[in-house]
Structure formats: C-alpha cells, structure tokens
Structure 1
Amino acid sequence: MDHHAPSRTALMSAAARAAHLLVDQQPPIFADTLASALLGERADELLGYHRAFGAHPILAGARTTAVTRSRCTEDRLAEAVARRGIDQYVVLGAGLDTFAYRSELAHPVRVFEVDHPAMQEWKRARLTAAGIAVPTTVSFVPLDLEQGDLTDALTAAGFDTERPAVVSWLGVTMYLGTEAIGRVLSAVGALAPGTELLAEHLLPAEHRDPAGQLYAEQVHAAAAENGEPWRTFLTVEEMDTLLTGHGLRPLGYLRQRDTLVPQPWEERTDALRPFELSVLAHAVVPER
C-alpha cells in the first residue's frame, strides 16, 4: 500500500458517512460530523457524487451500509460502557473511523485503532491537516491483519488483555482470506471473558436479495479494479461455525433492517432502504 494513496474503500466509506448528513432525511441514522474533514482534497469530488446522484442505487446503498453498521456498533458500545463499565474499544481495520475524535464516550474509553501502517500514516496526516486533535485515549496499532499477530500488537500498544473490551470489525472481512479471518477470531476469542465482537461479513450471492446482488455486482468489480477485491463470503451458519470454533459465543446477527432508525424505513423520503448483502455478527467471549 502506497502511503500517498489511502485505501479507496476507506475513502468511500467515509464519504458515504459524510454524505448522509448532506443528502438524506433528517434526523440522521448516524452522525459522523468529522468524516468530511478527513477526506481532504477529495471531499468536494466524493461528496459531489452523492449530491448530484444521491438516489443512485449504488451511492444510496453505500450510505445505507455505512451508517447502519456504524449505528449498530456504536449503540452496542454505548450500552456496554453504560451497563458493564467497558473501557477498552478495539477498532480493527479502523480506516477513517472517527469515533475517538467526536464521541463523548471517547473520554472514558481507551480506543485502539488497528490498521495497516501506511493507512495510519495517511490518516494521522489528515487529522493534523484538519486540526483534529488526537486524544490521549487513542492508541494507533500498526498491523497488517493478513500477516501480523493481533494480540502482540495490542499488548505492545497498552491494551489490557485481562479486562474485557468491545471489538469492532466493519468492512474488512470480505477483503481477507479465511485463514487470516480465523487468526483474528482466535486472537479475539482468547481475550478476557465478556469481550464483545461486532464483525461484518458479506453474504454469498444466493443469500442476497435483488438489491444486494445488484450492489455486489457493481461494487465488487470496482473494488477488484482498484486492487481491493472481495475474497470471502460467509453465510450466517458459516460465520456461526467460525465464531464458535475460535472461542466465541454468537449472540445474534444484525441486518440493516434491524437498525434503530429515527423513522420506519417505509416512511423515509430519501433513497435509503435496507437490503440483503452483509450481516453484523455479534458475539462474546464466554467465561472459561
């Protein structure tokens, strides 16, 4: 990965979160107020597509996917902090995630952003250029998930393996092979009991609805052309087996339609609609 060229998928996800505040119905499903600032010189171009063609199924689908998975994850994190006193949050494949820089929860919660070293270098430069301060509660954990050891990297960054955490893994598993996915799940499954994982995975073609299949056909091809092909697709049953086999107990599988949106989906006046493409698996490390 060239440090002068950040992950295209990270840029597209950030643009979708930022554009949601500009082109979709209010109040928003998810408010990422800093995503636009991290787009840098690409902001006008990327947000311009959504402004001009926001109802296009692919752009609307990108926004739906980005905001629903973020909403579900941060809602779950807030609940874990409030009810269980969780104070460690691990973001796997953090990309341009902005939780640590905008959320009130970020103050009592130590955030560990895990990502490819080159992507982190680019993000940190963008944070500086945008005048966004990095809180002392943030630790950058440089790691290639395909090759590195997650436990060692987290420990070196100050993560306490004796205390539970919430771990999010959004928009990443589809770009990894099953061996790498298994290694990451093994590392998470070996963390302290009570640790929760929220991991997004893409469904195989036969488990998608027509809108999900249309989105997959077009976005998959574009991702491959840009050197970031989708590699792994998992049914809920397959993900369940993976989680169980690596020391985690599945708690449920959240779909876009399950998101707590401000208005019922059918009453929305914008182009956002849930579709069957990805699932957010929710699991916990059980008591040993």
Structure 2
Amino acid sequence: MDNGSTDNRGPSRTAMMAAAGRAAHLIVDRPPHLFQDTVAETLLGERAAELISYHRESGDHPVLSGTRSQVSARSHYTEARLAAGEFEQYVILGAGLDSFAYRSPLAGRVAVYEVDHPATQAWKRELLAAAGIGFSTVEFVGVDFERDNLAAELTAYGFDPNRPALVSWLGVTMYLTESAIGATLDTLSGWAPGTELVMEYALLPELRDESGCVFAEFALAATAEQGEPMLSFFSPESVTALLDRHGFGVAEHISQHTAVDAALWQRADGLRPVDFCRLVRAHIPGRTRI
C-alpha cells in the first residue's frame, strides 16, 4: 500500500508502511526472501526503528505479515519484468519511497522517472540527503494528478513517449476512483507500442480468499483512519475490460502466489500469500512482449 500521497498532516503513511514492510521482510522473515530491498531501512531514517519494531514485536499480525508479502511479491515481479525486457525507460507512478534507483544494477541501463506529488518528492529528497544516498540517476517528476498533465511533465524531464517504457503502478489504484484511473490510462495509451504496464489492483470482497478477507478487515480501517481510504475494487474481468477500453491488451493477471517462484513460498516461517490485491500486466499493442 503505497499511494505516495501527502495530506496536511505530513508524509504519506502508506508510503512509510510499504517501505517498512520491505525492510522488515529481510529482518523478520526467514530466507528464502521474496525480495531484497537493502535500502528501505536506511531511507526511512529516524523512523526506521519505530516502524520496523512493529514487525519485530507483532510480525504474525495479519496486516503486518500481509503487508510484507504484498510489497515484496509485487516488487519482485515488477523488477523481474524490467530485467527480462529491453526497456530503456522505467516510469514509477506513485513512487513513494520506492528504492529501485538507489540499489538495483538495472538503474544504470534504464532512465528512471519517479512520478509523485511534489510534496512527496520533496520529502523523499530530504530523506535521501539525510541518508547520504545519491540520486543523480533518477528524475523526480512532481505531478498533481488533479491539475497537472502527466505526459507534459514527463516529457519536460526527458521522457520519450516514442520509445517503449515499462510503467510500474503499484499500491495506487485502490486509492483512486475508476474515472481517475481511466484518465491516467488514457495518457499512457498514447505512448509507444510495446510499452508495458504492471498495475496493482484490489479485489472485490467476494473474490478474496480467507487470508485476504482478514487482511482487508484491518487494512481498510487502518488506511481510512490515516486519511488515505481505499476507493476502488475490481475483478480480473473488470480490470481487463477497463484496460481494453483504454487501449491496452492484457497479457496476464498475477496473484501473490504466482508473482514469485513457487519455491519461495516453501517456507519455514508464517509468511504466506494473501489474495487481497493482484497485479495485471498489459501492453500497448504493436510490439509483442513475452
């Protein structure tokens, strides 16, 4: 859960929860790890100890273990898609405290564009500077989605819409209305054929498994209390229809269980996949992506 937004009370709580989940996964959960985010703890700075302590002390709580599995599995899948393709541009919508550009060797061969609210971008730059983490290899594209033109802002920072890109949209759509999601898809659909989108969405209540229902019971209340309520829920069929209306062809829907190698779920600890959110991989037709 990482919509990267801020409100009048300060930095995004969901962005911090997501980063803490990725950091805590390496501390609380046993190997094999689903994903290796070696920067998240440092990026959280003085808040790291507090946020990770919740996982240390109550790591089996459904919302905490579910958050770790969610943020780790989705990052594993998305960055594996980037590694497998020939993309030269990587756009991270609602980047929050995503750490790809500061730890992955892939960052040296792709142009990275982190898109988020200007206030979130300023907050993140402060955290990076305080941690001594360089950020010269990433473009921070500050966008207020209610007022700014996403395509124009990205182009101003050097993004080339005529070259295929991988677009990561994780932990965001559940906090938006369907019309707002559609408006962003309209913008993306004008980019080069072969552009690929990995988008996370929340499932309708009747499609969640037992662990997903338990996770939702806690997560929905927590995010609403923090001022970032979840607004949109889908079935795979309705997501496919939405993407089709906006010019995308769907390649696959991915659950947490299938987002990582099956062997990674053969675990000695209690971390398990939670069917509350899924990923969809879609592309702009015109160039085949395997």
TM-score, normalization by structure 1 = 0.95
Paired position in structure 2 for 1:94? 95
Partner residue in 2 for 1:37 = 42
Alignment pair present for 1:47 and 2:48: no
The CA deviation at 1:156 is: 1.2
- 1:255–1:278 contact (8 Å) kept in structure 2: yes
Aligned to 1:16: 21
The letter for the 1-side match of 2:30 is Q
1: CA distance, partners of 2:263 / 2:246? 38
Counterpart secondary structure, 1:197: strand
Deviation at 1:264, TM superposition (A): 4.7
Letter in 1 for 2:155: T
Is the contact made by 1:255 and 1:280 (CA closer than 8 Å) also made in structure 2?
Answer: yes
Give the counterpart letter for 2:107 in structure 1: A
1:113 aligns with 2:114: yes
Superposed counterparts of 1:86-165, under 5 Å: 86-135=87-136, 137-165=137-165
Q: CA deviation at 1:272?
A: 1.0
- For structure 1, list consecutive stretches of 5 or more residues without a partner in the other structure: none
CA distance in 2, matches of 1:35, 1:60: 17
Alpha-carbon distance between aligned partners in 1 of 2:7 and 2:197, rounded to the nearest angstrom: 30
Residues 27 and 3 (structure 1), Cα distance of their counterparts in 2 relative to 1, 3 Å cut: farther
Matched, 1:69 2:70: no
Q: Secondary structure at the match of 1:127?
A: helix
CA distance in 1, matches of 2:198, 2:135: 24
- Structure 2 match to 1:252: 252
Q: Is the 8 A contact 1:115 1:141 kept in 2?
A: yes
SS in 1 for 2:279: strand
Please tell me the residue identity of whatever aligns with 1:282. Answer: R
The residue number in structure 1 matching 2:201 is 201
- Deviation readout 1:241-288 (Å, 9 max, x if unpaired): 1111111111000110102247352x3011211121111010000129
TM-score by length of 2: 0.94
* Shift of residue 150, structure 1, vs aligned partner: 1.4
Aligned to 1:212: 212
Give CA-to-partner distance per residue, 1:62-105, whole Å, 9 cap, x none: 1000100000000001001xxx3x11000000000000110000
Work out the CA distance in 2 between the residues paired with 1:113 and 1:264: 29
Q: Which amino acid aligns with 1:46?
A: L
Given that residues 192 and 285 in structure 1 are in contact (C-alpha distance below 8 angstroms), is that contact kept between their aligned partners in structure 2? yes
Structure 2 match to 1:241: 241
Structure 1 residues 3, 79: CA separation in 2 closer, same or farther (over 3 Å shift)?
farther
Give the secondary-structure state (helix, strand or coil) at the position aligned to 1:232: coil
Q: Distance in 2 between matches of 1:220 and 1:148?
A: 29
Show structure 2 runs of 5+ residues with no match: 1-5
**Identical-pair percentage:** 52
Instruction: Please tell me the root mean square deviation across aligned C-alpha atoms, in Å.
Output: 1.4
Moved more, 192-201 or 212-221: 212-221
* Superposition deviation, residue 144 in structure 1: 2.1
Amino acid at match of 2:145: L
Tell me, in whole angstroms, the C-alpha distance in 2 between the residues paired with 1:242 and 1:122. 33
- Give the structure 1 partner of residue 280 of structure 2: 281
Partner-residue secondary structure (3-state), 1:134 = coil
User: Which whole-Å CA distance do the structure 1 matches of 2:23 and 2:262 have between them?
Assistant: 18
Query: Is this contact kept in 1: 2:34–2:264, CA < 8 A?
Result: no
Asked if the contact 1:4–1:122 (Cα under 8 Å) also holds between the matched residues in 2, the reply is no
On the 8 A contact 1:199/1:281 being kept in 2, the answer is yes
Q: Is the 8 A contact 2:33 2:264 kept in 1?
A: no
- Tell me how far apart the structure 2 counterparts of residues 149 and 211 of structure 1 sit (CA, whole Å): 39
Partner Cα separation in structure 1 for residue 263 and residue 230 of structure 2:
32
CA distance in 2, matches of 1:186, 1:142: 19
Give the stretch that moved more between structures: 162-171 or 23-32: 23-32
Which residue, 59, 64, 75 being the options, matches 1:59?
64
How far apart in 2 are the matches of 1:271 and 1:118? 37
Count how many residue pairs are aligned between Structure 1 and Structure 2.
282
TM-fit CA distance, 1:3: 7.7
- AA partner of residue 129 (structure 2): T
Larger deviation, residues 270-279 vs 60-69: 270-279
Q: Secondary structure at the match of 1:282?
A: strand
Q: Distance in 1 between matches of 2:121 and 2:154?
A: 15
